[in-house]
Amino acid sequence: MSVRPKSIVAMSLPNKPNPPQPKVAPHQLEELFRDYGSKIYGLALRTGLAPKDAEDGVQEVFLKVQRRISTFRGEAALSTWLYQVALNTLRDHRRKVVRQTRALDMSMVSDQAADPTFPTSAPSPEAEASRMERADLVREALDRLPEKFREVLVLRELQGLAYRDIARVLNVKQGTIESRIFRARERMAKELKRIGVER
């Protein structure tokens, strides 16, 4: 009994599952920017970029997201994937900026610029001056931390990510993140005490 070539091919080739489809379509990028643009801008500021450089960094992030959106498979939350792309991009952008100019003018970064939800009611000039001075000192202390400590503090304390999500963003074990955050808080407390900021 002869076997038709078609049957031989069918028997010799294993069935391959269809590749997973991306969970986010390219036309959703505008919505993605609207939902996460200000958060990524805040992340850029809090990792040590001045406002203009932070704006450029955000543009680089979303250009990279546009190129890589088809690689998102839904294995983690979209926000986790986005933060991973953003943090890697902002690292590179910050290093480029630092190479171009060693002195970043952090005094121009205000908490209101970093957080669009900051109250708009104007405090007294004295209170505002005191708040801005303290904010500048806190940012100075944060910027003095090693990058691995600064990043976990920003993601945990300022961006509000859970430990497991930070672990996914940085591609390390959750236990490592917990230890790193503990050490980062210790280092930050020492820096704040050194420059005379009461916690």
Nearest to 143 by CA among 87, 105, 113: 105
Residue 8 lies in a domain: no
State which residues of the chain have pLDDT below 50.
1-22, 102-114, 116-120
Kindly report the pTM of this predicted structure: 0.58
Model pLDDT for residues 85-132, shown as the tens digit of each residue: 999 999 888 888 766 554 333 333 344 444 544 444 556 677 667 777
**How many domains would you assign to the chain?**
1
Residue 117 lies in a domain: no
Domain that holds residue 188: 22-111+124-193
Report the CATH number that the domain containing residue 97 is assigned in CATH. Answer: 1.10.1740.10
Sign of CA dihedral 9, 10, 11, 15: positive
Residue 5 lies in a domain: no
Nearest to 23 by CA among 59, 68, 87, 61: 68
Token pair listed for 76: 């983690």
CA distance 161 to 86: 14
CA distance 91 to 26: 25
Dihedral pair phi/psi, residue 171, rounded to 5°: 60, 45
What local confidence, expressed as pLDDT, does residue 138 receive? 81
CA distance 87 to 112: 21
Distance set, CA 99 to CA 92, 93, 104, 174 (Å): 11, 10, 11, 32
What local confidence, expressed as pLDDT, does residue 146 receive? 92
